[in-house]
Amino acid sequence: MSAELTRARTQLSNVRTYLKQDKIQMAAQALHDGLIAFLKHPLMKAEKQEFVRLLEDSTMYLSAAPKLKEIFPIALTYKEGEERQLLETVKGLLAELQKNVADEAQQMLEALERQKQEELEKGQHLLDSGQNESAVAVFNALLNRFSEDAELKSDIAERYIRAGMFSEAYTRLAEAIELSPENIRYYNSIGMALRKLGKFNVAEKYFAKAVKVAGKDPHLFFNLGRVYVDWEKWDKCAKSALMALKLDPDFKEAEKMLAFAKKRLA
């Protein structure tokens, strides 16, 4: 007996076990593969009889699965000689099971997103009422569940910035940048938080990283210029404003920044 037939026989023998474990898709795939192997390979009389019995049992077990009736309305029946008809039905069943898995996954994602938004609103309400420590606890619990979600970290950081919690914002934005270093918006936000904290040299380093990623963003250089304004580095401020204007000659705020820096230099 070929390796494919041996594998198919083993899979068919496991159909009942798969169903007991609520693995309907694996059971259906085993029946599908068993039918393919049966149709492809010539069998000795005893081997054929064994396969027919396995196909009969597998079809019976699968058709009796309670959950299957909810998903697939077409009855599964098998008689020797009707392998191709059953195969077409099983192909339809597998397609429906795959669709059902995709639907369940989408529903799960939507449920998680709803939970995420509910917790964000809860934390925001606490921030709005001045209960900052409680808000941080809510946000931290949320981030523990979604630790690889850079956009969530950025969202929470922006809420911290609006609440004047710049140290907390910096921490979350640094984590977001670690996860998604190509997102320029994170650099602009972390630059703002660091500027408010007076950590100008650290802000400068983050903007230097951002320039390597997207050096053609005029707002990047403008926001770096704002760091230099607070730092009173007027020569560097002028250079940043000039770079912003080079990239966007109509950038009025950059024009004002350049004029202000030149005035202070004079």
Long-range contact list for 219-223, CB < 8 A, 24+ apart?
Answer: 219/188, 219/244, 220/184, 220/187, 220/188, 221/247, 221/254, 222/251, 222/253, 222/254, 222/257, 223/188, 223/191, 223/192
Compute mean pLDDT per 10 residues along the chain, 266 residues long, and list them: 78 87 87 88 84 89 82 83 89 84 77 91 96 96 93 96 96 95 92 94 92 85 94 96 95 96 91
Two structure tokens written together for 117: 């938004």
| pLDDT (0 to 100) of residue 235 | 96
Query: 215-266 domain in CATH 1.10.3720.10?
Result: no
pLDDT for the residue 73: 75
**Could you state, in order of their start, the residue ranges of all structural domains in the chain?**
3-104, 215-266
DSSP code per residue over 197-248: HT-HHHHHHHHHHHHHHHTT-HHHHHHHHHHHHHHT-HHHHHHHHHHHHHH-
163 burial level (CB within 10 Å; 0-12, 13-18, 19+): middle
User: What's the pLDDT score for residue 75?
Assistant: 80
Q: What is the pLDDT of residue 64?
A: 86
Q: Which residue has the tokens 């320039």?
A: 211
- pLDDT value of position 108: 83
Per-residue pLDDT at 1: 57
Q: What is the pTM of this model?
A: 0.63
